Structure 1
């Protein structure tokens, strides 16, 4: 059509896409797997089979996968790292001004956890000043819903790398996603595709200010810097309201949405996509960023909503830092029709993350003290001589729990003085690269 919608003018497609010679938009993305089923479903049989660059698909030749074994995924990452790094180098060289990388993976299986961990470690040297943000899917805590008995091992081993080698980790908790799908969207038995749709909603909302930039939060470092005041406490929870999936859109009640209503709901536990209670005990927020989407939002409504939330003391903040909710205004996507005038996305750093990691350590300890399910790990080079890596990873995660709990105390600024350490400089990357289109790359926010 010759009629250009003015809402499209400031759409920065070049952040996550580039234009090919035939003027199609190609994602700046690598699809990596050790077995072909999922990638082929997307690129051979699915509706997006012509979307991705075929040179950016990596499937291990034997196609055997990692067998839900972190150590196998790690070893195969080492075996294939040159091929994958060549793909990343080619994609990064095609970026005008590379700012960072986004990794989407699971921490419970074998490939996303093991191979992802290996790449995070090795690419620290390869891209020492680039930012890395991950979307990390945490497993179901209900054993009846999990078929991976070794997921505590895989998760703790991956958490060590997420703690030391990532700048920001957006936690996507399968347990919480299931709960939201059942309780909020009234889906009796949520499918994987429906849960993935929830994750896609979160990812799209979190990148809104990058794709439709305004005066603030229009690059990765601007989005994340204020959320992460200390290097290791960089695990973020999300909230979104109102939630609508395509298949339930017509069944959902369309109510009047206001800025106050949206911002209030974002802090309610039933809208938060992590299985941690943000309203009980001594837990408190370290930082909050709300992205309010709407084409006719008056900034004065934001100020009134913040004042009302402050008066009602709806959120508790750390005693040693500023008690403020940051708010970014963003336009709604002109490509999607939604039944709501205003929607909201929350990215928050909260000390109740310690509950999540503590629960994981409890599951780890139960099988580790019995030396259960270790035979397949001992077959791999890292564990052939000893099992020290398990103890090292557990120690790193325990330190993370301790630091999050220390954040709740006024004397946190003295925490670890004299050698808690544990932080490692540098970042790493895999999967989808974002180019900030000439705004200049920044050093890692974890550089102290």
Structure 2
């Protein structure tokens, strides 16, 4: 029984981290950027079907839903070597493409208008699972899409799938630098309320600490977003769920 996990990548930050996550998973499981299993990886006890499913042509496709209110980051992903890895029907971009303007209220209100289209995708992925374990939401709490739309989806997920685990990887803003987004504290506080009410587990990704680790421990001067994201992926995101073990082989067991 695979106990599938559906990954929801939300906003600029969520999709950037999600992109690094799938690159890492493909490398670990011997899956090419086109979704084809390399010859050396055809045998083994790894559970690819937790995060991937096989299409009719034997390609492995991520159980991922890519969501954003503006197209820049998703277009970057679709122009990368991994463009053919994803199911194009699992990508949702807002029609107007204007984003949420770093405003929680804008992201939340847009969620009320577009949630049916988004949940058509999520429900289809859930229905295609044999034994759905839960959802992983990757987002930032400081911007507009990750905070506002993320808050709305958390509430809806809790209502729609009350018995499924919802875990988030929530990127907290950098406290050492002054933000250009003056409403960032409000975005963060409004999102924190929804996280405490609707998420079963919240993994806090502190940008301040991540930058300090990259600089002090890894000796990277002025670390890029990509380097920070790789640091995140190397330490988190349910890696133990993909390999056989006698105990705690699922998301719910630790809880």
| TM beyond 0.5 | yes
Cα distance in 2 between the residues matched to 1:176 and 1:62? 36
1:214 aligns to what? 245
**Alpha-carbon distance change, 189 to 10 in structure 1, aligned in 2, over 3 angstroms:** same
The reply to whether residue 131 of structure 1 matches residue 165 of structure 2 is yes
The counterpart of 1:56, out of the listed 80, 90, 94, is: 90
Alignment partner of 1:33 is 2:64: no
SS of equivalent residue, structure 1 residue 214: coil
**Alignment of structure 1 residues 165-244 onto 2, 5 Å:** 165-203=198-236, 206-222=237-253, 224-225=254-255
Higher helix share: 2
1:86 is matched with 120
Map of 1:235 onto structure 2:
none
**1:217 offset after TM fit, Å?**
1.7
Structure 1 residue 143, shift from structure 2 partner: 3.2
Query: What is the CA–CA distance in structure 2 between the aligned matches of 1:16 and 1:5, rounded to whole Å?
Result: 16
C-alpha offsets along residues 327-351 of structure 1, whole Å, 9 cap, x if unaligned? xxxxxxxxxxxxxxxxxxxxxxxxx
User: Which sections of structure 1, spanning at least 5 residues, go unmatched?
Assistant: 226-448
Q: Are 1:17 and 2:52 counterparts?
A: yes
Per the alignment, residue 160 of structure 1 pairs with 193
Question: Structure 1 residues 16-25 or 118-127, which shifts more?
Answer: 118-127
CA distance in 2, matches of 1:133, 1:191: 26
Q: How do 1:349-368 residues align onto structure 2 when only pairs under 5 Å count?
A: none
What is the CA-CA distance between 1:22 and the residue it aligns to? 1.3
Q: Deviations over 1:58-111 (max 9, x none)?
A: 010100000000000000011100000100000000000011100000000000
Give ranges in structure 2 of 5+ residues lacking alignment. 1-36
Please give the alpha-carbon distance, in whole angstroms, between the structure 2 residues aligned to 1:21 and 1:11.
21
Deviation at 1:5, TM superposition (A): 6.6
Deviations 1:35-56 (A, max 9, x none): 000111112x112111100000
The SS at the match of 2:112 is helix
Indicate the structure (1 or 2) with the bigger Cα radius of gyration. Answer: 1
Q: Secondary structure at the match of 1:102?
A: strand
- In the TM superposition, what is the alpha-carbon distance from 1:4 to its structure 2 partner? 6.0
Provide the secondary structure at the position in 1 that maps to 2:118: helix
Query: What secondary structure is seen at the aligned counterpart in 2 of 1:30?
Result: strand
TM-score, structure 1 length as denominator?
0.47
Q: Would the alpha carbon gap of residues 69 and 170 (structure 1) be closer, same or farther in structure 2, given more than 3 Å must change? A: same
Mapped partners of 1:82, 1:158: distance in 2:
21
The alpha-carbon deviation at position 19 of structure 1 amounts to 0.4
TM-score by length of 2: 0.82
Determine the C-alpha separation between the residues in 1 that align with 2:148 and 2:115: 12
For the structure 1 residues 2 and 13, does the alpha-carbon distance in structure 2 shift closer, same or farther, using more than 3 Å as the test? closer
Residues 193 and 215 (structure 1 numbering): CA distance in 2 closer, same or farther, change over 3 Å? same
SS of corresponding position for 2:84: coil
Alignment of 1:13-412 (within 5 A): 13-43=48-78, 45-144=79-178, 146-203=179-236, 206-222=237-253, 224-225=254-255
State the shift of 1:128 in Å.
1.1
